[in-house]
């Protein structure tokens, strides 16, 4: 059973998230959309700050960006389940670690991404082919951000500011490559902020060019097979 369509959704597997995207695109004009996958178990410290934001993110994000929370669902996995948060329309959300692990495994199977074990957000370009009504995730440009590290290094005052900044970018995103556009604008801004704080001066000269990688704002080509683009980049869902 598919989850209700919403700008912010909880999903137990990657294909259901792709199916959700395909259904959204039936009347959409754009060909590329910024999409995020969130790995945030409710027991993790930072998750307790993120989950209460879901109703706001749902209302604020509109049609410019989608948030998919791995392992969450409006359906119980067992009779003793208790809701852990509220969804975008204030419906009860339940968390199941099996669904969470399934989502993680699905993504790792499709590309070279591996889970950090922290609270993590993965940015992807999602595409749609109007002639075949198929949606897909593009693994050739992925940005995986360790939100625990972002908070620890104080790039933002709070996690709400991070999400607001992301949505602000999505409102005027680069329509050809939203992920790279986000990395170029937001990543560069954070590097400059760190430089002003004197962080770069503390690093040896040979390490300074790679500081952006340390900040987790570097786009990477995570396709498993770069020689067969149609198979490696796109996993199609028919509607």
pTM over 0.75, yes/no? yes
pLDDT tens track for 40-62: 999 999 999 999 999 899 888 87
According to DSSP, the residues that pair with 39 across neighbouring strands are: 120
Classify 94 as helix, strand or coil. strand
Domain ranges of the chain: 8-238
Residue from 75, 72, 56 nearest 7 by CA: 56
Give every residue of the chain whose pLDDT is below 50, as ranges: 1-8, 26-27, 206-210, 212-214, 228-239
pLDDT for the residue 118: 95
Kindly write down the DSSP assignment for every residue of 58-126, as one continuous string: HHHHTTSEEEEEETEESS-SSTT----EE-TTS-EEEE-HHHHHHHHHHHHHHSS----SSSEEEEEEE
Beta strands in 87-132 (DSSP E): 92-95, 120-129
pLDDT for the residue 85: 87
pLDDT for the residue 18: 67
pLDDT tens track for 96-110: 898 899 889 989 999
pLDDT for the residue 214: 45
CA dist 36 and 41 (Å) reads: 16
């Amino acid at each position: 059973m598919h989850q209700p369509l919403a700008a912010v959704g909880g999903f137990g597997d990657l294909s259901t998230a792709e199916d959700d995207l395909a259904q959204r695109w039936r009347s959409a004009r754009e060909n590329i959309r910024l999409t995020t996958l969130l790995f945030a178990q409710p027991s993790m410290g930072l998750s307790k700050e993120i989950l209460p934001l879901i109703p706001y993110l749902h209302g604020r994000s509109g049609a410019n960006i989608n948030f998919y929370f791995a392992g969450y669902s409006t359906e119980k996995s067992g009779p003793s389940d208790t809701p852990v948060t509220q969804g975008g329309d204030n419906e009860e959300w339940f968390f199941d670690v099996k669904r969470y692990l399934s989502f993680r495994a699905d993504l790792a199977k499709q590309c070279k991404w591996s889970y950090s074990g922290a609270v993590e957000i993965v940015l992807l370009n999602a595409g749609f082919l109007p002639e075949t009504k198929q949606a897909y995730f593009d693994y050739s440009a992925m940005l995986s951000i360790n939100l625990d590290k972002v908070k620890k290094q104080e790039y933002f005052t709070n996690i709400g500011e991070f999400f607001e900044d992301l949505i602000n970018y999505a409102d005027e995103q680069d329509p050809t490559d939203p992920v790279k556009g986000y990395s170029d604008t937001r990543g560069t801004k954070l590097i400059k902020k760190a430089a002003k704080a004197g962080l770069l001066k503390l690093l040896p000269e040979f390490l300074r060019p790679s500081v952006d990688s340390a900040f987790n704002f570097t786009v990477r080509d995570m396709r498993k097979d770069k020689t067969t683009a149609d198979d490696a980049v796109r996993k199609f869902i028919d509607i």
